[in-house]
Chains A and B, each alone.
Chain A
């Protein structure tokens, strides 16, 4: 099914995996997605725990019928949208060019 110009052997992948540039790509990827995941999960569970164990705080009115809990909840929407935008921008600018360069190197033959 492969549409690649030629067959690639496992060793070529291993060689590329050992290169400095690939290590850099992996490092950058993990340095972005792992802390971001930790961040949004921590923020989400803070919210869940507050809802479960601090209902009085969450029920405090801010203005009209709008209370702290609703603002926290809407904050989860905002943070989700913001992280999505940040990630897509980061991936388009930082990640894709590097990944494409390595992809082309495999296509072009020896690293």
Chain B
């Protein structure tokens, strides 16, 4: 349908309005980077709220942080780092045209992603059982304040910590769910052999998205879990 002679030489993946495959790939990749800039601002609003309240309500934040399950948090961090590795290897596999390897790596990524979500679910359930979910049944009495601090714990300020905890991890989990969806889509097409050394932009930009979601967690983990983990003594 295109009158451009270049388009005829290339496969059907070149859309009519681009002059060349390179231009198309550059555009897609720039688009993804810009989208990630948008995402940074999106999470940025919450990080801003987090910083302000953490400054004001440090004791409550420290106490809330202590109540999180460090074991699961750490495991989840490792799971996500592994998933980033499989994504990076997957991009390479796609570039080298190794279809089978690509499919395996994409499956692994999805498994890691689901594992992360499952563990997150366990943690949230724990919070639910401890009445740490903001709302009418919120109960902060069992929380221990930092031992070196003489300040107290104000339940309404403690709720702010858990509000932010659920808002931030919830939003991150939502991004993970979207990411798993994207990778399922990529897996389907990879399995059909659509990605070649010449054309693998979707894997590349899907990977960018996945890495971004990982990086958000790399910030969330210390900010939420490690506020005050000095050994009790």
Do chains A and B stick together as partners? no
- B interface residue numbers (CB < 8 A to A): none
